[in-house]
């Protein structure tokens, strides 16, 4: 892959990859580093891209794996137990919160409280708008697992919002 193609991919998908990673790690600077690592891995492993999926799906697969590996290394116990990052970084990112209204902020916080598999599938399917097939490729799941997990995740999210008295405001 030449530098021009990598720059084109970064220009086209860099912000989207960054926001996905940011939603997962909740640390602006770490998300920047992991985004850079994603594109460096894409550059190093471009020979493995067989065009069985779109470039965007391939890049998100790399981003997912880079982020997952980072979370395992940084917080192995929390990752294994499925804890959220809330215990580590309970403060919202100021740049992001300024842009969100109250309802979006509450929805964002509720998503952050979900276990990682639920958070992943909601972010990819609903926020990043990947298809079921693309989400399955990124997460290395079957399409039926994506559908089942998404349904359970949305049910859990709705129940959490109802418990907090926010469901009517958001849905």
Model pTM score: 0.70
Triad 27, 106, 120: Cα angle to 5°: 55
Question: And the tokens for 98?
Answer: 């300024």
Q: Residue range 156-164: average pLDDT?
A: 88
Query: Cα dihedral sign for 131, 83, 158, 26?
Result: negative
The phi-psi region of residue 108 (left if phi > 0; otherwise alpha if psi is between -120 and 50; otherwise beta) is alpha
C-alpha distances (whole Å) from 73 to each of 21, 56, 67, 70, 77 are 16, 26, 10, 5, 9
Triad 98, 57, 83: Cα angle to 5°: 55
pLDDT in tens, 107-151: 888 888 899 999 999 999 998 989 999 999 999 999 999 999 999
Please tell me the distance from the alpha carbon of residue 31 to that of residue 67, in angstroms, as a whole number.
9
Mean residue pLDDT across the chain: 81
Number of domains in the chain: 1
* Residue 166 belongs to domain spanning: 3-170
pLDDT in tens, 6-30: 889 999 999 999 999 988 888 889 9
User: Residue 147 maps to which CATH number?
Assistant: 1.20.140.160
């Amino acid at each position: 892959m030449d530098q021009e193609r990598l720059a084109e991919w970064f220009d086209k998908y860099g912000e989207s990859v960054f926001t996905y990673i940011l939603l997962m790690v909740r640390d602006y600077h770490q998300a920047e580093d992991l985004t850079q690592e994603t594109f460096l891995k894409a550059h190093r492993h471009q020979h493995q891209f067989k065009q069985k999926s779109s470039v965007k799906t391939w890049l998100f697969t790399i981003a997912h794996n880079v982020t997952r590996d980072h979370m395992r290394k940084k917080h192995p116990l929390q990752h294994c137990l499925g804890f959220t990052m809330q215990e580590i970084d309970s403060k919202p990112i100021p740049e992001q919160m300024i842009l969100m209204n109250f309802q979006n902020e509450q929805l964002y916080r509720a998503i952050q409280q979900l276990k990682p598999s639920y958070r992943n599938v909601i972010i990819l399917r609903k926020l990043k708008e990947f298809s079921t097939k693309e989400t399955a490729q990124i997460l290395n799941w079957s399409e039926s697992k994506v559908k089942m997990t998404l349904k359970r995740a949305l049910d859990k999210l709705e129940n959490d919002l109802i418990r907090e008295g926010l469901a009517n405001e958001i849905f």
